[in-house]
Amino acid sequence: MDSRVTIVTRVHTSDGFVGESYNGDSDAEMMAIVGIIRNEIGPLLLGTNAVSSEQAWERMLPPTYDILRDRGLAMQAIACVDSALWDSIGKRLGRPLYELWGGYTDRLPAICIGGYYSDDLNDIARQIESYRDLGFGGCKFKVGKLDADADAHRTRLARRAAGDDFVLLVDANQGFSRAEAIQFARLTEDLDLVWFEEPCRWMNDRLSMRDVRLASGMSVAAGQSENTRAGIRDLIVSGAVDVCNADASWIGGPSEWRRIASIAAAYEVQMAHHEEPQISAHLLASIPHGTYLETFAPDRDPLFWNLIANRQEFVDGQYIVPKEPGFGLELDYDYISQHTVPEPDIA
């Protein structure tokens, strides 16, 4: 990665509590999101009770109504503020958010997103070993860039390097056709892959993913590419997924993710979370149908490894959820000041 960008959001309450979070990782439209937060959402929230999370969330919706705007940007802006508001609620009550949201467990199995393409196939084993050295218990391995045979071969090399005690999932990032995805699933059915994430191209992905599930018997995960609760509902109702990996930072924040988790529970669909371990740890640990905490190695996500001053370590494939109030994170403001991108005039 040449760069990684995020938004740090702080919410100040009239009685002195400060909620903060960081959200997102794509640099293309970050300043537009900051503008929505400052100029539209901020004024809408003035005077709102800081613990009335549902009321606050509803008040933030008007920026999504503009038909000429990319509504996904407004949903990301809502997510930033919703996350910081929840952090302030946890701090006010003196409890970590995973407990306030249900407190199902205080630890999660942790996996590393990796398996990136290289001309040297020996690099697969080196990557797997590096993830194990970092304390991870598994890898979400990239496929979908090559044909089904070539990617099945790469996955077989990954399983050989990982051994039987290392969790392996695959993520095609919508790279395969339906036929290719089914072929890949059949070629790798003996490799004990936990799930096949976003196996099919976007044009008809719900029906295509349903067909992959039915034809292969492999569990399918998706949801990160949706930015509405209704879109996730339709994904689940269509029978496309066994696992929903909605991203709270894209879909309107923890408030909306938790609503989605309730929908998923009604259909016996498990919940994952696309990246963002600083937020997802509390969400996944709060419910009985949460799955793996996923993050990147330091070279892919220096923010998680450097921005959090009190970051928890990964040990024996496990991550202990922070027990301090709110998200339990102490952000390193020296690091932030060294890497802050100046804002343009967005007033």
Annotated domain spans of the chain: 7-94+330-339, 99-320
* Statement: residue 294 has pLDDT above 60: yes
State the number of CA atoms in the 13 A half-sphere of 4 facing the CB.
Answer: 19
Q: How confident is the model at residue 29 (pLDDT cuts 50, 70, 90)?
A: confident
Taking 60 as the threshold, does the pLDDT of residue 221 lie above it?
Answer: yes
The Cα angle at residue 344 between residues 341 and 347, in degrees rounded to 5: 130
**What mean pLDDT is reported for the chain?**
97
Assess whether pLDDT exceeds 90 at residue 347: no
Beta strand spans in the chain (E): 7-12, 18-23, 107-114, 138-142, 167-171, 196-197, 220-222, 243-244, 270-271, 293-296, 314-315, 318-320
Q: How far is CA 1 from CA 121, 159, 298, 328, 341, in A?
A: 20, 25, 10, 27, 17
What CATH architecture is 7-94+330-339? 2-Layer Sandwich (3.30)
Residue 344 has what pLDDT?
65
Superfamily for the 99-320 domain: Enolase-like C-terminal domain (3.20.20.120)
Q: What is the pTM of this model?
A: 0.96
Residue 174 and residue 145 in contact, taking contact as beta carbons nearer than 8 Å: no
Checking if the pLDDT of 2 tops 90, the result is: no
Question: Which pLDDT belongs to residue 162?
Answer: 98
Mean pLDDT within 81-102: 99
Predicted pLDDT at 343: 75
Torsional class of 94: left (φ above 0), alpha (ψ -120 to 50), beta (otherwise) = left
Give 139's pLDDT tier (boundaries 50, 70, 90).
Answer: very high
Quote the percentage of the chain above a pLDDT of 90.
Answer: 95
Q: What is the pLDDT averaged over residues 147-173? A: 99
Distances (CA, A) of 58 to 24, 61, 84: 21, 6, 16
pLDDT of 84? 99
**Phi, then psi, of 242 in degrees rounded to 5:** -100, -25
The one-character DSSP state at 118 is: -
pLDDT tens for residues 106-133? 999 999 999 999 999 999 999 999 999 9
Taking CA 243 as the corner, what is the angle to CA 239 and CA 249, rounded to the nearest 5 degrees?
115
Q: How confident is the model at residue 1 (pLDDT cuts 50, 70, 90)?
A: low
- Whether 236 has a pLDDT exceeding 60, the answer reads yes
The mean pLDDT of 1-27, rounded to a whole number, is 91
Q: Which amino acid is residue 58, in one-letter code?
A: E
Average pLDDT (92-117) is 99
238-266 confidence digits (pLDDT tens): 999 999 999 999 999 999 999 999 999 99
Structure tokens at 67: 């038909």
Average pLDDT estimate for 287-309 = 97
Does the structure show a pLDDT above 70 at 345? no
Q: Which has more pLDDT, 28 or 273? A: 273
Which of 147, 143, 149 is closest to 168 using CA atoms? 143
